[in-house]
Chain A
Amino acid sequence: MSGFSSLNTAVTGLAAAQRAMDIAGQNIVNANTPGYSRQRVQLAEVATATSSSLFTGGGTGVGGVTVTGVARIRDVFVEGARAAAGARQAALTSQTSALTGAQQLLAEPGDTGLQATMDAFYSSWHDLANNPTDVAAGSVVLQRGIAVTDQLHALANGIAGQWTTARDSLQDTLTQANQAASDLADVNSKIAAGLVAGRPVNELMDQRDQLARSLGTLIGGVATPGQDGQVSVSVNGVAIVAGATAQQFTLAGAATLGGAAADPPRLMWGTTTVPVDSGSAAGYLAVLGTDLPSLASTVDGVATSLKDIVNTVHATGFAKDGSPGGPFFAGTDALSMSVVPTSPDQLAITPTAGTIDGTVAMQIGDLSDDGVAETALGRPGPSAQWRDVTTLLGVRVQSLKNAGDVQDSVVAAADSAVEADSGVNLDEEMTNMLQYQRAYQSAARVVTTVDEMLDTLVNRTGLVGR
C-alpha cells in the first residue's frame, strides 16, 4: 500500500461516480422517450493481488471500484405479454372501426333507412288500391319503387366502398410491417456487430424491442430472443425476421368485394399463406374475408326476397290494357335491382283482365305485414330479413366493442407492468444523482487528503529544527 495507490483508488471512485451521474442524466432526459428502458451502472470492487513486502505495505487488497457495465432493465416475459395484448387489441380495433363504418351505412333505426323506404313503398300500393284509376297514385308507386332500388344500390356501393377502404388499410399495414421487418433485421445485425466489438448496444436494443413490438401490433408477429442480442419474429410459425435477414410478405386474393367470398384476401410469404390471427392485419382480414362479404350477401338476400315477393303477387294481376302482369322488379342482387314498369298503365293491379280493381295493389301493400310476407315467400320476408341484418351487425359491433374495452384494460395492465419494470422514476434518479454526487465529493476529498499526506511526506520530512 502506497500513498500513490490510494490516489488511484480515489480516482476509480471519481470515475465510477462520474459514469453513474452520466447514466442518471441519460435516464432523466429519456424519461418520456417511447420504448426507453432505464439503465443502471453496475459497479464492482477491485481487489489487487495480495502480496506483502517492506515497500508495498500490508497487502490489504484495496484496488478501488470499477464499472463492469451498464445494465438495461427489461423483463422479456413482461414485454412479451404486452406485445401479445397489444396485437390482440390492434386486431379488435381495426375490425371494430371497419364494421362501425358499415353500421353507419344502414341508417337504422331511423326514418331514412331501408325499412322506412320499404314501408313507404308498400303504403303507396294501398293508396293506389284506394284509387286505382289515378295516374298520380301509380306514379307514386313507381317512384317509391325506384327509391327502394336507389337505397339498395347505395347500400351495396357503400359496403363495397368499406371493403376497398379496409383493403387499402391492410395494404398499408403490410407495407409498414415489411418496412419494420427490414429495419429490425438491420438493427439485429448492428447489435451483433456492436456486441462483438464491445460497443454499448442498449439504445439499439430499445429500438429492436420497439420494432418487434410494432410487428406484433401490425401483423401479430411474435418475437423470440436469439443469439447475439438478436430477435427473430414469426407469425404463427412463418418467419418474417430471422436474425439479420427479413422476409417480405405480400397481399394476395380478390381486389374487389365481388370476388372476396371465393378468393378472400390473405397474406402470403412466397407461395405460403401466412396464418395471421392477431395484429391490425387480422382485424382487416376478418372484415375483408368474412364480415363484409356476408353483410353484402344478406343485403342481396333482402333485395332478391323483395323482388320475388312483389313480382309473385304482381304477376297475378293484369295491366290496364288487359295484358298479364310482368315483373315489377328486375335484377339479381342489391346492386342490379331496378323497376321494370315505366308508366303507371303497366302496373298490374286488377285480378281480372278488363276490369278496374285495385285488389292486386292491395295485396302487394299487404306484404308490409311480416306474417303475410312470410306466407307468400315461404321464408321470412324482406323487412324481417332486413331487421335481422341490422340486429346481427349491431350485436357483432357491440360484442367487438365490449371485447375491445376488456382488451384495453389488459393492455393497460401490461403497459404498467412494463413501465414498472423499465420506466424512469425521476425521484429515484434525483436520489441517485445526489448519492453519486456525494460519492464524487467524498472521493475528491480522499484525493486532497492523500495529497496532504504526501505533502507532509515530501515537503516536511527532515526539516526538524529548520
Chain B
Amino acid sequence: MSIRITQQSISASTMRGLQANLSRMQDLQAQLSSGKRIAVASDDPSGTASAMTFRSQQAADEQYLRNIDQVSARLGVTDNTLTQLSDRLRGVRDLLVQAGNAGLGADSRNALAAQAAALKSEIVDLYNTTYLDRPVFGGTVPGQQAVDPTTGVYIGNDQSVQTRISRDATVRIDVKGSDVAADTTPALLDRIVADLGTTATIPSADFTDLDATLSKVMQALGDVGARASRVDSTKANVDSHRLDLVARISENEDVDLPQAIMNLQSQQVAYQSALGASAKILQTSLVDFLK
C-alpha cells in the first residue's frame, strides 16, 4: 500500500526539515560566536566535570605561585640579612685579632671596644629584621622583634612557619633563632666588648665562641640558599602544570574552529538546498495545469 501524501504532510515535513536544519545552524553559530564547545553542563556532562576540576586546579596553582613569590621574597630578605650578619661577625673577629697586638695602648683598646659595641647594635638590629611586619628569626612570636634591643635577650620562639608551595609540598619560610645563634650572640658580643676594653690578652674562648657563631650563620645561609633553590624548582613545576592545565582547559572546552567552520559551511549548503527543493515542490499543484 502506498502512503497517501497530502499538501499538509508535505508542508509539515518541509517545516520539520527546515527547523532541524536551522536549529543545527543555531548550535554551530552559538559555538562559533562564544568560542566554547560547552556552554552548559548538558552539552557534555563528563567534559563539564573535567572543566570544573581543571579550573579548580588552575586556581590552586595560581595561588601556589603567589605563595611561592612570597616565600622567595622572604627567603631573599633572610639570605641578605644572614650575609650582612656574617660580615658584621667577621668585623668583630677582625677587632679581636687587632686586639692581639701587644703594642696597643688603652686608648686604642677603648676605640676597638667602641667599634665592637657599634657592631653589636648593628647585629641586634639584623636579628630583628622583619618581612611584612614579621621577624624573620622570631618564629611565631607576637610583636616584631626576635631580640630585645635593650637587654639583648632572645624573645622569639623556635616555632617553624610553613607555607604551601605546591599541592604536596610545604616549605619552612623562617630561620630558627637558635640556628643563627640569636639567643647567644648578644651576650657573647657584650663579653667581647668588655674583654676588648679591659683585658690585655683576649681569652681564646672569645675566638672559639665567635667562630662557632659564625659557622652557625654560614650553615643557616647555606640552608636558606638550598631552600630557595628548592622553591625555584617547585615554581618551575607548578608553572608548567598550570600551563598544561590552560592547554587542557582549552582542549576540553574550546571549539575546534576549522571543524566548526566546516560544519557550518556544509550546514548552510544543506539548508539552502532544502529551501530550494521546498520552494519548487510547494509551488506546484494541479490548479496550475487546469484551464
Contact = CB atoms under 8 A, between A and B. Distances in A.
B52 A430 contact: no
The main secondary structure of chain A at its interface with chain B is helix
A168 B63 CA distance: 46
A394 interface: yes
B251 to A, nearest CB: 14
B13 A416 contact: yes
B163 A425 contact: no
B238 to A, nearest CB: 13
Interface string A337-380: 00000000000001010111111001001101100000000000
Given A358-B161, A383-B56, A420 B6 contact: yes
Contacts of B167: 369
Contacts of B43: 394, 398
A356 B9 contact: no
B140 A352 contact: yes
B281 interface: no
Given A126-B67, A355-B142, A391-B48, A397 B42 contact: yes
A107 B51 CA distance: 13
B56 A356 contact: no
B56 A109 contact: no
Given A356-B142, A420-B3, A109 B287 contact: no
B55 A412 contact: no
A348 to B, nearest CB: 14
Nearest to A383: B56
B162 interface: yes
Contacts of A394: 40-45, 48
B41 A393 contact: yes
Given A368-B56, A425-B5, A415 B141 contact: no
Contacts of A133: 132-134
B55 A362 contact: no
B59 A427 contact: no
B8 interface: yes
Given A116-B59, A423-B6, A424-B7, A415 B12 contact: yes
B200 interface: no
B56 A416 contact: no
Most chain B beta-carbon contacts within 10 A, residue among A31, A352, A423: A423
Nearest to A137: B132
Given A100-B40, A391-B49, 15 more contacts: A120-B59, A123-B60, A129-B67, A130-B66, A130-B163, A362-B164, A362-B170, A387-B52, A391-B41, A391-B46, A391-B48, A394-B45, A396-B42, A412-B16, A421-B4
16 contacts: A103-B42, A104-B40, A106-B41, A109-B41, A122-B60, A127-B66, A129-B67, A355-B140, A362-B162, A390-B49, A393-B41, A394-B40, A396-B42, A423-B9, A426-B285, A427-B285
Interface of A: 31-32, 100, 103-104, 106, 108-109, 111, 113, 115-116, 119-120, 122-123, 126-127, 129-134, 350, 352, 354-359, 362, 365-366, 368-369, 383, 386-387, 390-398, 401, 412, 415-416, 419-421, 423-427, 430-431, 434
Closest CB pairs A-B (n = 9): A394-B41, A423-B6, A394-B45, A119-B59, A109-B51, A355-B140, A397-B42, A357-B140, A419-B9
Interface of B: 3-9, 12-13, 16, 38, 40-46, 48-49, 51-53, 55-56, 59-60, 62-63, 66-67, 70, 132-134, 139-142, 157, 159, 161-164, 167, 170, 253, 285-287, 290
